[in-house]
């Protein structure tokens, strides 16, 4: 007797396929020190800046207009992106310390779910260690900050030296891997690729083809750049003093270590823009490769920076602090089948949200342990109403570094309209800013009686959240050799 065969209508199969689509590809592009407003489609961007490819992602996809990092420093932010956790939980608190044993990165979960995973670019966690990391089938990276020119890459455990510009060479590597795995993705074998550019990390160095491209272009100097009594009447003393030391525009101390003579502020600014333009070119090359392979419609592309960067604001050229230019980042997303062209997301998105967003898109459950702190913003990208109430604030944290001592340990809580900042270990005034009336944070309202009740409320909320999650246990780094005696400033 033969076993009866049941016929399933084709229409039912098609409907089921639409309800449960196959997982798609993911391309995550991460830049370094790229400001949130230095994309040419932004109203605040310099008029001369050209970023046609980043503009394309925003035009064809979504711009997450209020994106932030929870720690404005390379390694802690990168760890937050890969773990979905705040710094106080993943414990990568500076640029030197290695990743704690047992840490899990979200590409590991993708790999377990059948994704082919690749990493091309700057890693930095663990500083000088460029060896392949777990969770990736393919690995191309370099030690520490790397170099803009003639880098040495560790390719799957073997080091090879190259001639040329770092971003160009990394893009070559990314394109080669896409050519290998892209066709397979059309047969149900999706990939995840993270491209981590060194650009536009200080000292800003564009390739020769763009050197002096913007020389002489008019700069709109920020309102808080001027060294005036009005700008600093209500600010903390460390803010006034920082402009004369490391990362301060009135001294340009770090410039002397990298270039002689020390670059002027205008040169620094124009070099930044030229490096951004070269970065954008390479983003375009990767996008074009997706088009050539015919997989652009099935690939979620996300672009973001690992932290912000001040260019003259409050007398700084750096990150680390809790001012807007430091904590805000560019964030863009594109997927023609999921994201309506020209979407704008105004809710606060964080670097810790990347991991849960990508895992939801891939159909992979979030791990129960270790728990992720971020939330998926995929529904926001798709224009859906989120079932849960979206965040109304987030907590920022930065721990003082012995090798860059100008910025104190900083904790902050930011809502949609205000910010409270606490400087640990500094006998100085803290900060409170009304971001609606004072978006450039010129006026510190911390001692204005009318705001006292709200300041105390935010302070309690900040410390309750830090205390409940282990954030008040600050790890101190053990001194090595004679680093606290006659120390030299690092490059």
Say which residue, 469 or 358, is predicted with more confidence. 358
Q: What is the pTM of this model?
A: 0.91
Average pLDDT estimate for 43-50: 97
Where does residue 404 rank: exposed (0-12), middle (13-18), buried (19+ CB within 10 A)?
A: middle
- CA dihedral (50, 54, 58, 64) in degrees, to 10, reads -110
C-alpha–C-alpha distance, residues 163 and 150, integer Å:
4
Asked if 290 contacts 374 with a C-beta cutoff of 8 angstroms, the reply is no
Quickly state the pLDDT bin for 385 (edges 50, 70, 90).
confident
Query: Percent of the chain having pLDDT more than 70?
Result: 90
Question: What is the SS3 assignment for 388?
Answer: coil
The pLDDT score that the predictor gives to residue 480 is 63
Question: How confident is the model over 135-149, as pLDDT tens digits?
Answer: 999 999 999 899 999
Say which residue, 305 or 486, is predicted with more confidence. 305
- Which residues, listed in sequence order, are joined to residue 152 by a DSSP beta bridge? 161
Chain length of the chain: 491
The pLDDT score that the predictor gives to residue 474 is 78
- Which residues, listed in sequence order, are joined to residue 350 by a DSSP beta bridge? 68
Question: How confident is the model over 275-296, as pLDDT tens digits?
Answer: 999 999 999 999 999 999 999 9
Question: How confident is the model over 320-344, as pLDDT tens digits?
Answer: 999 999 999 999 999 999 999 999 9
Answer whether residue 379 shows pLDDT above 60: yes
The pLDDT score that the predictor gives to residue 232 is 83
The pLDDT score that the predictor gives to residue 472 is 87
Quickly state the pLDDT bin for 242 (edges 50, 70, 90).
confident
């Amino acid at each position: 007797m033969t076993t009866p065969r049941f016929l399933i209508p084709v229409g039912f199969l098609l409907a089921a396929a639409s309800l449960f689509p196959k997982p798609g590809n993911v391309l995550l592009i991460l830049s370094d020190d790229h400001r949130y407003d230095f994309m040419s489609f932004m109203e605040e961007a310099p008029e001369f800046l050209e970023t046609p490819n980043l503009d394309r992602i925003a035009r064809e996809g979504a711009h997450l207009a209020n994106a932030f990092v929870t720690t404005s420093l390379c390694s802690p932010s990168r760890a937050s992106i890969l773990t979905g956790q705040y710094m106080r939980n993943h414990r990568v608190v500076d640029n030197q310390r290695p990743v704690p044993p047992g840490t899990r990165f979200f590409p590991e979960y993708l790999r377990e779910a059948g994704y082919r995973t690749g990493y091309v670019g700057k890693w930095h966690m663990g500083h000088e260690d460029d060896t392949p990391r777990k969770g990736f089938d393919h690995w191309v990276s370099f030690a520490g900050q790397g170099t803009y020119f003639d880098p040495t890459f560790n390719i799957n455990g073997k080091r090879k030296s190259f001639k040329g510009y770092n971003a160009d060479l990394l893009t070559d590597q990314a394109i080669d891997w896409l050519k290998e795995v892209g066709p397979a993705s059309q047969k149900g074998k999706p990939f995840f690729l993270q491209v981590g550019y060194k650009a536009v990390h200080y000292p800003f160095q564009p390739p020769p083809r763009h050197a002096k491209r913007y020389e002489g272009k008019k700069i709109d100097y920020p309102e808080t750049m001027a060294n005036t009594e009005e700008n600093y009447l209500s600010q903390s003393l460390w803010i006034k003093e920082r402009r004369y030391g490391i990362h301060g525009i009135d001294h340009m101390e770090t410039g002397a270590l990298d270039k002689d003579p020390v670059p002027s502020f205008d040169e620094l600014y124009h070099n930044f823009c030229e490096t951004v333009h070269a970065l954008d070119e390479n983003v375009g090359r990767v996008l074009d490769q997706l088009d050539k392979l015919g997989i652009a419609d099935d690939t979620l592309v996300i672009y973001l920076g690992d932290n912000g960067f001040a260019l003259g604001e409050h007398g700084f050229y750096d990150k680390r602090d809790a001012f807007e230019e430091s904590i805000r980042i560019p964030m863009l997303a594109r997927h023609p089948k999921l994201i309506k062209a020209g979407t704008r997301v105004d809710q606060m998105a964080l670097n810790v949200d990347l991991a849960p967003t990508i895992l939801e898109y891939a159909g992979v459950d979030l791990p129960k342990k270790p728990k992720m702190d971020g939330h998926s913003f995929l529904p926001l990208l798709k224009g859906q109403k989120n079932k849960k109430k979206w965040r109304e604030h987030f907590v920022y944290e930065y721990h003082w570094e012995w090798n860059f001592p100008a910025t104190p340990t900083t904790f902050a809580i930011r809502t949609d309209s205000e910010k409270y900042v606490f400087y640990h270990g500094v006998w100085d005034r803290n900060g409170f800013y009304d971001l609606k009336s004072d978006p450039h944070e010129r006026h510190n309202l911390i001692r204005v009686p009318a705001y006292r009740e709200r300041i105390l409320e935010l302070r309690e909320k900040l410390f309750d959240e830090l205390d409940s999650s282990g954030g008040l246990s600050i790890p101190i780094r053990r001194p090595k050799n004679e680093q606290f005696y006659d120390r030299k400033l690092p490059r």
